[in-house]
Amino acid sequence: MKYLLIGLILVSCGPNSFGQQIWKLAKKEQGIEVYVGAVPNSEYVAFKAIMTLKTTENEALKILKDVEKYPEWFAYTESVNLLKQSENEQYFLMETDYPFPFSNECMNYTMTFQRMENEGLKIIVAGTQSKAHCKYSLKKAGGYLLLEPEKEYLKITYYFHSEPSQGIPKGLINPMIYKMPLQTFIALKKKLQP
Protein backbone atom coordinates (compact mmCIF):
# COMPACT_ATOMS: atom_id res chain seq x y z
CA MET A 1 0.00 0.00 0.00
CA LYS A 2 2.80 2.34 0.97
CA TYR A 3 4.23 1.91 -2.50
CA LEU A 4 0.94 2.62 -4.15
CA LEU A 5 1.40 6.11 -2.94
CA ILE A 6 4.39 5.91 -5.13
CA GLY A 7 3.23 9.16 -6.26
CA LEU A 8 4.82 7.08 -8.77
CA ILE A 9 7.64 9.34 -8.76
CA LEU A 10 6.05 10.38 -11.85
CA VAL A 11 8.49 13.03 -12.09
CA SER A 12 8.11 16.05 -14.16
CA CYS A 13 6.63 17.48 -17.27
CA GLY A 14 6.52 20.62 -19.30
CA PRO A 15 8.15 23.59 -17.66
CA ASN A 16 6.34 25.90 -20.07
CA SER A 17 2.95 25.18 -18.56
CA PHE A 18 4.14 26.00 -15.04
CA GLY A 19 2.92 29.59 -14.97
CA GLN A 20 -0.45 28.78 -16.57
CA GLN A 21 -1.51 25.99 -14.23
CA ILE A 22 -4.02 26.24 -11.42
CA TRP A 23 -2.47 24.81 -8.28
CA LYS A 24 -4.13 23.21 -5.28
CA LEU A 25 -2.27 22.80 -1.99
CA ALA A 26 -2.01 19.04 -1.36
CA LYS A 27 0.23 19.01 1.73
CA LYS A 28 2.05 21.40 4.05
CA GLU A 29 4.58 19.84 6.41
CA GLN A 30 7.96 20.73 7.95
CA GLY A 31 8.08 24.04 6.09
CA ILE A 32 7.42 22.30 2.77
CA GLU A 33 4.42 23.09 0.58
CA VAL A 34 3.36 20.68 -2.16
CA TYR A 35 0.82 21.68 -4.80
CA VAL A 36 -0.77 19.62 -7.56
CA GLY A 37 -2.26 20.79 -10.83
CA ALA A 38 -3.81 19.42 -14.00
CA VAL A 39 -1.72 19.26 -17.16
CA PRO A 40 -3.35 19.78 -20.58
CA ASN A 41 -3.87 16.52 -22.51
CA SER A 42 -2.77 14.32 -19.60
CA GLU A 43 -4.70 12.19 -17.09
CA TYR A 44 -1.86 12.59 -14.60
CA VAL A 45 -1.35 15.71 -12.48
CA ALA A 46 1.92 17.60 -12.04
CA PHE A 47 3.35 18.66 -8.71
CA LYS A 48 5.16 21.75 -7.47
CA ALA A 49 6.98 21.65 -4.13
CA ILE A 50 8.50 24.68 -2.40
CA MET A 51 10.75 25.08 0.64
CA THR A 52 13.17 27.70 1.97
CA LEU A 53 16.29 26.64 3.89
CA LYS A 54 19.22 28.32 5.55
CA THR A 55 21.81 27.06 3.08
CA THR A 56 23.63 28.12 -0.07
CA GLU A 57 23.16 27.42 -3.74
CA ASN A 58 26.58 25.73 -3.84
CA GLU A 59 25.67 23.31 -1.04
CA ALA A 60 22.42 22.38 -2.80
CA LEU A 61 24.19 21.96 -6.14
CA LYS A 62 26.73 19.54 -4.68
CA ILE A 63 23.90 17.21 -3.74
CA LEU A 64 21.76 17.73 -6.84
CA LYS A 65 24.64 17.13 -9.26
CA ASP A 66 25.62 13.87 -7.55
CA VAL A 67 22.87 11.93 -9.34
CA GLU A 68 24.29 8.46 -8.62
CA LYS A 69 23.53 9.02 -4.92
CA TYR A 70 19.86 9.82 -5.59
CA PRO A 71 18.70 6.34 -4.49
CA GLU A 72 19.91 7.26 -0.97
CA TRP A 73 17.46 10.16 -0.61
CA PHE A 74 15.38 10.87 -3.75
CA ALA A 75 12.00 9.20 -3.14
CA TYR A 76 11.02 6.18 -5.27
CA THR A 77 14.37 6.07 -7.05
CA GLU A 78 15.69 2.54 -7.54
CA SER A 79 18.90 3.40 -9.41
CA VAL A 80 20.68 6.15 -11.34
CA ASN A 81 23.59 5.81 -13.76
CA LEU A 82 25.45 8.91 -14.87
CA LEU A 83 26.06 8.55 -18.61
CA LYS A 84 27.83 11.80 -19.49
CA GLN A 85 28.44 15.23 -18.04
CA SER A 86 29.83 18.63 -18.97
CA GLU A 87 30.02 21.91 -17.08
CA ASN A 88 26.36 22.83 -17.68
CA GLU A 89 24.74 19.48 -18.53
CA GLN A 90 24.39 15.95 -17.25
CA TYR A 91 22.89 12.87 -18.90
CA PHE A 92 21.71 9.98 -16.77
CA LEU A 93 19.46 6.92 -16.66
CA MET A 94 17.02 6.85 -13.74
CA GLU A 95 14.93 3.84 -12.71
CA THR A 96 11.75 4.66 -10.80
CA ASP A 97 10.47 2.27 -8.16
CA TYR A 98 6.84 1.29 -8.84
CA PRO A 99 4.54 -0.71 -6.54
CA PHE A 100 3.58 -4.34 -7.09
CA PRO A 101 2.06 -5.56 -9.36
CA PHE A 102 3.67 -2.97 -11.67
CA SER A 103 7.25 -3.11 -12.88
CA ASN A 104 9.79 -0.34 -12.40
CA GLU A 105 10.08 2.18 -15.24
CA CYS A 106 13.10 4.13 -16.38
CA MET A 107 14.09 6.96 -18.66
CA ASN A 108 17.18 8.72 -19.93
CA TYR A 109 17.26 12.34 -18.74
CA THR A 110 19.17 15.51 -19.46
CA MET A 111 19.79 17.93 -16.62
CA THR A 112 20.69 21.43 -17.80
CA PHE A 113 21.85 24.28 -15.54
CA GLN A 114 20.74 27.77 -16.57
CA ARG A 115 21.54 31.01 -14.73
CA MET A 116 18.48 33.27 -14.54
CA GLU A 117 18.39 37.08 -14.83
CA ASN A 118 17.37 37.38 -11.17
CA GLU A 119 20.54 35.44 -10.27
CA GLY A 120 18.59 32.28 -9.50
CA LEU A 121 19.58 28.96 -11.06
CA LYS A 122 17.14 26.83 -13.03
CA ILE A 123 17.92 23.13 -13.36
CA ILE A 124 15.85 21.75 -16.23
CA VAL A 125 15.26 17.99 -16.13
CA ALA A 126 13.91 16.51 -19.36
CA GLY A 127 13.22 12.94 -20.37
CA THR A 128 14.76 12.14 -23.72
CA GLN A 129 13.50 10.02 -26.60
CA SER A 130 16.65 7.90 -26.58
CA LYS A 131 15.99 4.24 -25.82
CA ALA A 132 16.52 3.34 -22.18
CA HIS A 133 17.80 -0.17 -21.51
CA CYS A 134 14.97 -1.46 -19.35
CA LYS A 135 11.72 -3.35 -19.76
CA TYR A 136 9.42 -0.33 -19.36
CA SER A 137 10.16 3.31 -20.11
CA LEU A 138 8.10 6.27 -18.97
CA LYS A 139 6.01 7.75 -21.77
CA LYS A 140 7.19 11.22 -20.86
CA ALA A 141 8.75 13.05 -17.96
CA GLY A 142 10.17 16.48 -17.29
CA GLY A 143 10.29 19.50 -15.06
CA TYR A 144 12.77 21.61 -13.16
CA LEU A 145 14.30 22.71 -9.91
CA LEU A 146 14.64 26.43 -9.26
CA LEU A 147 17.23 27.67 -6.74
CA GLU A 148 16.66 31.26 -5.62
CA PRO A 149 19.04 32.80 -3.05
CA GLU A 150 17.36 35.11 -0.51
CA LYS A 151 20.11 36.59 1.72
CA GLU A 152 21.35 33.66 3.85
CA TYR A 153 18.46 31.47 2.71
CA LEU A 154 17.76 29.45 -0.42
CA LYS A 155 14.27 28.98 -1.85
CA ILE A 156 13.95 25.69 -3.75
CA THR A 157 11.04 24.99 -6.10
CA TYR A 158 10.61 21.56 -7.67
CA TYR A 159 8.15 21.10 -10.56
CA PHE A 160 7.58 17.79 -12.31
CA HIS A 161 5.14 15.79 -14.39
CA SER A 162 5.37 12.34 -15.93
CA GLU A 163 3.27 9.60 -17.43
CA PRO A 164 3.78 5.84 -16.94
CA SER A 165 3.71 3.37 -19.80
CA GLN A 166 1.94 0.47 -18.07
CA GLY A 167 -1.57 1.90 -18.02
CA ILE A 168 -1.49 2.53 -14.27
CA PRO A 169 -4.87 4.06 -13.32
CA LYS A 170 -4.76 7.77 -12.59
CA GLY A 171 -6.74 7.04 -9.42
CA LEU A 172 -3.72 5.23 -8.00
CA ILE A 173 -1.26 8.00 -8.84
CA ASN A 174 -2.93 11.40 -8.68
CA PRO A 175 -4.14 11.29 -5.04
CA MET A 176 -0.69 10.17 -3.84
CA ILE A 177 1.71 12.05 -6.13
CA TYR A 178 2.36 14.74 -3.52
CA LYS A 179 4.17 12.19 -1.33
CA MET A 180 7.07 11.86 -3.75
CA PRO A 181 8.25 15.51 -3.63
CA LEU A 182 7.40 15.75 0.07
CA GLN A 183 9.58 12.77 0.97
CA THR A 184 12.31 13.99 -1.38
CA PHE A 185 12.36 17.47 0.16
CA ILE A 186 12.32 16.12 3.73
CA ALA A 187 15.39 14.01 2.88
CA LEU A 188 17.10 16.91 1.05
CA LYS A 189 16.41 19.19 4.00
CA LYS A 190 18.17 16.72 6.34
CA LYS A 191 21.20 16.66 4.04
CA LEU A 192 21.39 20.45 3.83
CA GLN A 193 20.53 21.13 7.49
CA PRO A 194 21.80 18.06 9.41
Task: Map out the domains of the chain as residue ranges.
Answer: 2-192
- Class (C level, CATH) for 2-192: alpha beta
> Is residue 126's pLDDT more than 80?
yes
The predicted structure's pLDDT at residue 185: 98
pLDDT-derived band at 87 (thresholds 50, 70, 90) equals: confident
pLDDT of residue 117: 86
pLDDT score for 20: 65
Determine which of 8-22, 109-123, 127-141 has the lowest per-residue pLDDT on average.
Answer: 8-22
pLDDT digits (tens, 9 = 90+) for 143-188: 999 999 999 999 999 999 999 999 899 999 999 999 999 999 999 9
Q: Which residues fall within 8 angstroms of residue 54, CB to CB, at 6 or more apart?
A: 152, 153, 154, 193
Please give the average per-residue pLDDT across 103-130, as a whole number. 94
Question: pTM of this prediction?
Answer: 0.87
Share of the chain above pLDDT 90, in %: 78
Average pLDDT rounded to a whole number, residues 20-49: 95
Nearest by Cα to 66 from 42, 88, 90: 90
113 half-sphere exposure, CB direction, 13 A CA radius: 17
Mean pLDDT of the chain: 89
pLDDT (tens digit per residue) in 44-61: 999 999 999 999 999 999
Say if residues 45 and 36 touch (Cβ distance below 8 Å). yes
Other CB atoms within a 10 A radius of the CB of residue 5 amount to 19
- The distance in angstroms from the start CA to the end CA of the chain is 30
Q: Is the pLDDT of residue 72 over 80?
A: yes
Helix (H, G, I), strand (E, B) or coil at 59: helix
Give the CA diameter of the chain: 47
Type of residue found at 5: L
